[in-house]
Structure 1
Amino acid sequence: MNSDKSDTMSGPNELVGQLLNGRNSGRQGSPESYGNISDDGVRFVVTLAYYASQCAEEGDYPRFRIFIATSAELAQTPDPWQLGRFAEAIPLNDVDDLRRLAPCAASHDYALEVEEQENKIVCTGIRLAHSGEGAISVLSTSLWARHLRPGLMIRVDAPGLLRVSEAQRAWDLRAGGLSDLGSLPVQPTPLWLNPLAERLASKDRLKSHIRKMVLFAWNELLHSSSECGRGGCFVILPKSLLDADAVKNQYEISLKYPIVSMGLGKAISDFVDICKGTPPPSNAESLKEAVNEWLKARYSLLSHVESLAHLSGVDGCTVFDSNLNLVGFGGKILVSSTDHKKQLRDAIANRYLSADIMKKTGTRHLSAFHLCNAHEGVSCYVVSQDGQVTAFWSQGELVEQWKPYPAWVKRSDQY
């Protein structure tokens, strides 16, 4: 993944240029991966979406998606992902045409379906932006469907903030900077992941399932927090069975709202146990009982993720122990020492950075750096109000930084 921004300010023209680079040759080799639209059509739709993103409706700026299907999908009858097709295609001639329709796709789970017909761009209906939960079977550990949806997706999150993805590539236009997000996102393996899976697994054979589920749930939590738009900071401490007093005395974090008995790790292990840890049902009655238990455990896990994402919007950091038990939120990091015991390293570029650059960041990033610098084994995930996530973790003589941490990957992105 290449997250380097260009040296100059970028806009829709530069975004289209990156998208179209090599598109014709790619379409010849694998047309089933590309949206059924000409290069001129791509240029028009991206530019239209860019300017529509800056048009407020009753004080709010639109968030929406546009999806352009492949020629193969257009030929499908019926289309299982299409929610509704307009009786007559609606021409998209100017910004107002798109602005008026944008509220139809205000959730990231839905998209306006757009086609090119006789050299004109039209909106033909509303569809699911992902493959749907029909891909999730009963007693499966797959919480979120993440199947590849070929075609061209344009995602608008804020004024001038676009992400365009096609053929397993994605580009992000943000604050005048254009980032090539590359192909499948690369994420570091958290220091706490494998030891956590060891502790949570009731049987050795469940470790890999626990590990995968922890990653899914944690990334969904970060993504949900970033979509709330309030920013936040998640802290994972390297010890278990901590309370608010221990967190303050040992890690210099004062928790305004301590919490007991809210464990994301336990919700994950309970869910995996029901899916994989018990013998398969032997008759209809036991199957019915198992399915009910699975549904309850799945709902509990999803509820934990959602509620934790909202808690993170409260001023201060949200603190977990090493078993992903929530210790509290609204935390204030009291570490303010400028005595840098560890070196700061860009883990993506594999190069050392001057700790002084942290002084140019916001309070959340600086506090997270100080905390990792002062305490071994701490991991921090800082969510900016613009949705970007930065990961810090303390290991040996280093504070590692991973920016951006790709928590934005959602089932409705084209991966």
Structure 2
Amino acid sequence: MKRMASGQNKFPKHLANEVIEHWEHIVSGEYVTPPCPSISQLREILEVAYLAACAPEEGRFPSFNLVVVPTASLDDQNIGMTVYRLSEPRRLSVAELRRLAPATDLKKSAVLIGWDEDGVVVAGISDLGTSWHRARMGLSYSYSVPSALIIQIDRPGRLKVYQGPYAVAGLVDGDLVASRIELSLFMHSTIRSGFDRLVEEFSVPQYEHPKDFEGFWWIAFYNIFASITNTISASGHGGTLIVAADEHVPNSSDLRIKYPVESMELRSAFIDFINARNVTADCWTRIELGHDDVEQDFRAELALLDATNRLVEAIRLIAQFAGCDGAILITSDLRVIGFGVEIRSELAAECIVEEVTSDYGEEGEICDIEQFGMRHRSAIKLSSRVPGVCVLAVSQDGPISGVWSKEGKVLIKKGANLPNMNLPFS
């Protein structure tokens, strides 16, 4: 999502207008757009959610999802989610949302809101499962999410509106943010050499077309770095991931590694995942060609499931290393060097630091390093000294910044979006 130019603060009513304006134009073709409540009802829902998120309960601000559907559809067995329906619907209110929010999990469930011509009610709790959350973070490639209006409120002042899996618009700290594809490309030059080395250890499918498996290989590789960073972001404590091209691993004058590990587990897990996926894809392709072997297909699916679980658990553990004071250091070919890393670099003499404001380019505006916090300043100093390094700095409240060097300058991209490249609109 991209922040829209604004001369004044925006409120939920402005977000409602933005959603209604774009609701029918998210996806074209044979896609069926799910129902959306009237503008007045949507404003009511967003305003109540906005206020509920700003009202702490026992010192903690609530975070929650809302799934908004026509009341008549609640009896549909194919609604796309498990519904725990209240025997008697309740009037939508700030107090009601505050009471129900602790019964939900931002990663998997939601307060269910129903609407019809008589008004808006709280209808129950819906279980969305964790697959969509995991897929958006880059931890999965299959997901299930109901075709409905979904509102996510993860902290006070931040609302995101989805149409099923597709982001529509959001309201972040008084600014409207519009939906658009954003693929942060600043990691590309750093991680490409690592990818080229890993490809040498991949099996090559015999039946699947190269454009299919080669495209997936790169997406899956990019998603390793994205999912580690997104998992750190979701943890709530922030952290730093240093990704170094193999030939540019910083030395002891720039970094002090408190906990060196020199682990190949992530690298091995990723290679096994890709190879298991290749075998399974070949089985699917053979089925399409009429050469079915049920026993072989079954074994391939089980092997892929095991490999996927191993990779996900490796990613989650590495992201947890950010809980220690200091950064995580990983190479572009997925070797984990260590964590609890202290950045010792000083800013290179006459270094130019620019903040990138464009969506895809690397043109920026010269800025003062002192405007950033300590985590970002350390990342800038390291990048000024070591070429071939990309630093992903995650603030405690979640936003991600990318820091890298190019042609003698250090570039910083604040508010970087690192989506699963299979779900660019997520």
Please, what TM-score do these two structures have when normalized by structure 1?
Answer: 0.83
Question: Does 1:330 find its partner at 2:340?
Answer: yes
Would the alpha carbon gap of residues 107 and 169 (structure 1) be closer, same or farther in structure 2, given more than 3 Å must change? closer
2:366 to 345, 354, 357: 354
Q: Deviation per CA, 1:36-68, whole angstroms, max 9, x where unpaired?
A: 311111111111111111222233221110012
Cα pair 1:198 1:207 within 8 Å, conserved: no
Number of the residue aligned with 2:10: 10
Cα pair 1:130 1:149 within 8 Å, conserved: no
Cα pair 1:164 1:171 within 8 Å, conserved: yes
Shift of 1:265: 3.1
Write the letter of the residue equivalent to 1:112: V
Number of the residue aligned with 1:210: 217
Shift of 1:11: 3.3
User: In 2, Cα distance between the equivalents of 1:179 and 1:401?
Assistant: 23
Number of the residue aligned with 2:273: 271
Q: Deviation per CA, 1:185-223, whole angstroms, max 9, x where unpaired?
A: 332262234333221122465543321112233322222
1:318 to 304, 321, 328: 328
Secondary structure class of the residue paired with 1:309: helix
Write the letter of the residue equivalent to 2:274: V
Cα pair 1:311 1:318 within 8 Å, conserved: yes
User: In 1, Cα distance between the equivalents of 2:72 and 2:117?
Assistant: 18
Would the alpha carbon gap of residues 118 and 413 (structure 1) be closer, same or farther in structure 2, given more than 3 Å must change? farther
2:226 to 215, 219, 244: 219
Would the alpha carbon gap of residues 76 and 195 (structure 1) be closer, same or farther in structure 2, given more than 3 Å must change? farther
Shift of 1:330: 1.2
Percent of paired sites with the same residue:
22
Would the alpha carbon gap of residues 68 and 53 (structure 1) be closer, same or farther in structure 2, given more than 3 Å must change? same
Number of the residue aligned with 2:189: 191
Shift of 1:130: 6.7
Shift of 1:148: 7.1
User: In 2, Cα distance between the equivalents of 1:107 and 1:411?
Assistant: 22
Number of the residue aligned with 2:392: 381
User: In 2, Cα distance between the equivalents of 1:49 and 1:413?
Assistant: 26
Number of the residue aligned with 2:50: 50
Cα pair 1:318 1:331 within 8 Å, conserved: yes
User: In 2, Cα distance between the equivalents of 1:260 and 1:238?
Assistant: 15
Relative to structure 2, which stretch is displaced further, 75-84 or 190-199?
75-84
Number of the residue aligned with 2:121: 122
Write the letter of the residue equivalent to 1:162: L
Q: Deviation per CA, 1:134-170, whole angstroms, max 9, x where unpaired?
A: xx9xxxx993335675432211111222222348443
Would the alpha carbon gap of residues 323 and 146 (structure 1) be closer, same or farther in structure 2, given more than 3 Å must change? same
Question: Does 1:299 find its partner at 2:303?
Answer: no
Cα pair 1:394 1:400 within 8 Å, conserved: yes
Number of the residue aligned with 1:254: 256
Cα pair 2:89 2:122 within 8 Å, conserved: yes
User: In 1, Cα distance between the equivalents of 2:124 and 2:423?
Assistant: 17
Cα pair 1:194 1:211 within 8 Å, conserved: no
Q: Which runs of 5+ in 2 are unaligned?
A: 205-209, 287-291
Aligned residues between the structures: 401
Please, what TM-score do these two structures have when normalized by structure 2?
Answer: 0.81
User: In 2, Cα distance between the equivalents of 1:344 and 1:286?
Assistant: 54
Number of the residue aligned with 2:41: 41
Question: Does 1:233 find its partner at 2:237?
Answer: no
Q: Deviation per CA, 1:309-360, whole angstroms, max 9, x where unpaired?
A: 221132211110121211111111111225243552516255332241x311
Cα pair 2:2 2:179 within 8 Å, conserved: yes
Q: Mapping of 1:160-179 within 5 angstroms?
A: 160-166=157-163, 168-174=166-172, 176-179=173-176
Q: Which runs of 5+ in 1 are unaligned?
A: none
Number of the residue aligned with 2:207: none
